[in-house]
Amino acid sequence: MIRPVRPAEHDRVAEVTVAAYDRLGVDVGPYRASLADVAGRAAEALVLVALRGERLVGAVTYVPDRDNGYAEFDDPTAAGIRMLAVDPDAQGAGVGAALVEACVARAVAAGRRHVVLHSTAQMAAAQRLYRRLGFERAPTLDWRPQPHVALRGYVLRVDAVVTAG
């Protein structure tokens, strides 16, 4: 089940998110505080959680537009996905795909034409998922938020879904 996070779940989402990023073996530096600040994200953007039974096994931040403080894009027709994380014990079971698809569905419902996200070289499994779901590499969106962190841009065109619907 995918739904918006509840305040009582903020600590669990922080735990899952930090654990998923730690598993990558990358020094996230000061970004660790942002990964753990679920209350801050939920106050400004939409944090969705994935539950398997009663257990929270994943989360993602849906960024509705470029004016949101969590936006890493300036396209006025786009929505964004940030901080996708799946509990390491639940990875490979479709949780990440369900969270991404929930974000895409929200973008389509809002009339967005694109969904933007960023990934790192260490996130190979996530990149395979994004390509499988129709995202394409967008090198023009690549950037470095920290000198040792290179983000790779990806875009999914959803305007065909919007106009056909």
CATH dotted code for 2-164: 3.40.630.30
pLDDT score for 123: 86
CB 51 within 8 A of CB 22: no
pTM of the model: 0.91
Q: Please, which residues bridge with residue 78 across strands?
A: 114
Better pLDDT: 159 or 93: 93
Q: How many of the other CB atoms lie within 10 Å of CB of 87?
A: 22
Q: What is the pLDDT of residues 12-54, one digit of tens each?
A: 999 999 998 888 877 777 888 999 999 999 999 999 999 999 9
Domain residue extents for the chain:
2-164
Which value, to the nearest 10 degrees, does the dihedral of the CA atoms of residues 86, 83, 43, 57 take? 0
Q: What is the pLDDT of residues 129-138, one digit of tens each?
A: 999 999 999 9
pLDDT score for 163: 42
CB 14 within 8 A of CB 8: no
